[in-house]
Amino acid sequence: MLDVMDFSQRYKDKLLEFFKDLHMNPELSFKEFRTTSKIKDLLKSLDIEILDMGMETGVVGLLKGKYSGPTVALRGDIDALPIVEETDLDYKSKVDGVMHACGHDVHTTCLAGAAMILSELKDQLHGNIKFIFQIAEEKNEGAKMLVKAGVMDDVDVIFGLHNHPDVPVGKVGVKLGGLMAAVDTIWIDIYGKGGHGGIPQRTIDPIVATSGVIQGIQSIVSRNISPIDSVVVSIGTINGGTANNVISEHIHMSGTVRTFDKEIRKNMPEILSKKVEGIAAGYGATGKVTYRYDLPAVINEKDMYDLACETVEQTYGKDAIFDPVPTTGGEDFSIFTENKPGFFYWLGVGNKEKGYVNQWHNSRFVADTDSLLVGSNVLAQSAINYMLKNKSSQI
């Protein structure tokens, strides 16, 4: 059996150098030009074909194995966040107001490492590898654009990972079933009748109705949906009113709905609309819900879970496997797996002894760089193991 651990250690220093350069030069979604150029230079040096996806940023590379077999995709996102870095790292961001605060530089480096490893094994591969360096994950747009451009058309399976600061470095989260929630966007409008703040009885106050709606929708879990099922409805913005002595005509809110179960997700627009309209009507107001399906849930199926467990145990031993608690955060990796099988890992990057405990999107977020080779090996070995289990009988 092909085992990347036999030789991958030699790439450790190169990966660290690659990572530090990315971290010092972060780029926002749709502006990942330098990062794209750096990745292309690496893939060209590895003799990996660069595919034209008709996009200004991001890279998709294709490594063709010697033997026929499945096409395995490996994905890593490359964009950063509009955050001022406040770490004391000697490789902290050099770009004002931009930081790799979600660890996408880790993901990019792990995918680059997998490319280095697998290119060395090209003549032993039973199939092809697609390396998807994805843009604009933070905008939830990159995966959709790539799928629309056909990146998954000839792919049989896809693997990806996301760093996790709560998981100790050296551990890899392997979860069966729901790992990350579906995330959808909602807009709620409450319409009343405006008037003088001193004569509220002649108005229909949408602000009072809005307060009832916000509290009332929290009863969806337990009264409309079983408390055993995970659903989160959050309101993030409220806008309305023009003056302190005027009863407004209209209040506008926006928020998110997060679910794991496909049937519950499908029914949420109707459930939410009935709840909002009913509560608003109780105040004499009118309620309207606009619902947009954004990201499906990240679900790891049983056959892929078994392969993932075997892969981590093969590379780092059974003790390296960590069973994570699902999160209601979302990830657009799920766009790639809507119609194709796949698996998504948590990569441990936390280190309490070094003080690396801050969460994503925090100005002091730091990932332990010992995770870089771990992620590279896990991605590369996942591809190899899938190929070996599904290789063609034709040579």
**From the annotation, which residues make up the binding site for Mn(2+)?**
102, 104, 138, 162, 361
Per the CB < 8 A criterion, the answer to whether 83 and 98 are in contact is yes
| Alpha-carbon span 131 to 155, nearest angstrom | 11
The residue among 365, 363, 327, 369 whose CA lies nearest residue 346 is: 327
| Alpha-carbon span 311 to 338, nearest angstrom | 23
Phi, psi of 370 (to 5 degrees): -65, -15
| Alpha-carbon span 279 to 286, nearest angstrom | 9
CA distances from 289 to 181, 214, 278 (A): 21, 13, 12
Phi, psi of 104 (to 5 degrees): -70, -20
Phi and psi based region of residue 284 (left: phi greater than 0; alpha: psi -120 to 50; beta: remaining): left
Q: Which residue has 């981590």 as its token pair? A: 312
Per the CB < 8 A criterion, the answer to whether 179 and 330 are in contact is no
The residue among 41, 42, 47 whose CA lies nearest residue 63 is: 47
Question: Whats the size of the chain, residue-wise?
Answer: 395
DSSP E strands in the chain: the ranges are 49-51, 59-64, 67-77, 126-134, 157-168, 172-173, 177-180, 182-191, 195-196, 231-240, 246-247, 250-259, 286-295, 298-300, 321-322, 342-350
The pair of three-digit structure tokens given for residue 385, joined into one six-digit string: 């193991």
CA distances from 146 to 42, 295, 333 (A): 21, 14, 11
| Alpha-carbon span 277 to 274, nearest angstrom | 5
Q: How far apart are the first and last CA of the chain?
A: 17
